[in-house]
Amino acid sequence: MNKPPSKRKKVTSPTPKNPDVLSQDHQDLVTIEVTAVEVEELTEEEQRDRLHLERKVERAFYEAGKALMELRDRRLYRSTHRTFEEYCQDRFGHSRRQSYLLMDAADVFDNLLEKCDPLDHILPTNERQVRPLTKLEPQEQQFVWQTAVEEAGGKVPSGRMVKDLVQRIMERTKVPNTYQVGEVCQILVKDNADLRGKGGCWAIVSAVNEFSCTVKMWNGEYTVGLQYLKSYDYLPQDCEQMQCLCDRISRVYSVSLEESVLRFLDSLGKLKRTYLTALEEKLLSVIELETTI
């Protein structure tokens, strides 16, 4: 979001030469610059809409999710907050995750409405009942919910029942983990907020788990689900070369480094090749030398 324009206003304030003697006739003039920020105000209609939508957020989870979507998409928070996340935190006490969980739940609810008649069928009554379904495709969401309702005896199933059912289905359809230790993979963020900022980065598999891999990146180790990894299919010698590069960057990487140095190291973490150019090698060697002194 662009910063609102600002204006500088000069204010003249008298300062006496002798603080013990105040004289109106002998004063030094000090000029103080005051920055006045012009805020883009909401129209009366937007203010009414904002209040109406805020009341919805404080009620049912579905209305909350839909209201949050509209508040975000129309940027009705802009008169008081720079970002949607800051607005939700201050106005509703929401963490970033909580706001997006509600919006995701509203999407699932809309999908269930397409399949179910709300007058004749059981629909979710809280966000936790819907949360496990957000990982599934629309048709799978409808199938799982109907199955959960049947298992609950025609009543609203608990969030735990829905989660267990989703887990059983994933177990039956799971794909075996074929990754190997030392394999170089690309990180795919998709809908995983924990991987935000790491999309397109390379990582080296350090441990193979049942449904995930532990991978080593230049700035630490992470456990990543199989759906968020894609192999580069490098040859063994290329994987060894990337492992060497990873070790070199890891030894010098520190958040206390200058911002320009960190940006350079981060850029190496997104290489789509297994080698450094002559200039990249020279810069990395200088950093290694400077950080070991």
pLDDT tens-digit map of 76-107: 999 999 999 999 999 999 887 889 999 999 99
> What confidence score (pLDDT) does residue 11 get?
45
Phi, psi for 33 (deg, rounded to 5): -95, 125
Q: Residue 182 in contact with residue 208, Cβ under 8 Å?
A: no
Which residues, in sequence order, are CB contacts of 114 under 8 Å at separation 6+?
Answer: 142
- Among residues of the chain, what percentage have pLDDT more than 70? 81
Strand blocks (E) in the chain: 6-15, 28-37, 184-187, 202-208, 212-217, 220-225, 229-231
Q: Residue 260 in contact with residue 290, Cβ under 8 Å?
A: no
pTM: 0.44
CATH class for the domain made up of 43-173: mainly alpha
Over residues 12-18, the mean pLDDT reads 50
> What confidence score (pLDDT) does residue 32 get?
64
Work out the number of other CB atoms within 10 angstroms of the CB of residue 285: 12
Confidence check: pLDDT of 19 > 90: no
- Give the position of tokens 């299919």: 233
Phi, psi for 188 (deg, rounded to 5): -110, 115
Over residues 112-123, the mean pLDDT reads 69
List where CATH 1.10.10 sits in the chain.
43-173
Range with the poorest average pLDDT among 40-54, 61-75, 83-97, 170-184: 170-184
- The most confident of 8-17, 45-54, 115-124, by mean pLDDT: 45-54
Sign of the Cα pseudo-torsion (269, 270, 274, 277, in order): negative
Question: Residue 116: which pLDDT band, with cuts at 50, 70 and 90?
Answer: low
- pLDDT tens for 210-231 read 778 899 998 888 888 888 899 9
> What confidence score (pLDDT) does residue 88 get?
93
Range with the poorest average pLDDT among 170-179, 229-238, 240-249: 170-179
Question: Residue 21: which pLDDT band, with cuts at 50, 70 and 90?
Answer: very low
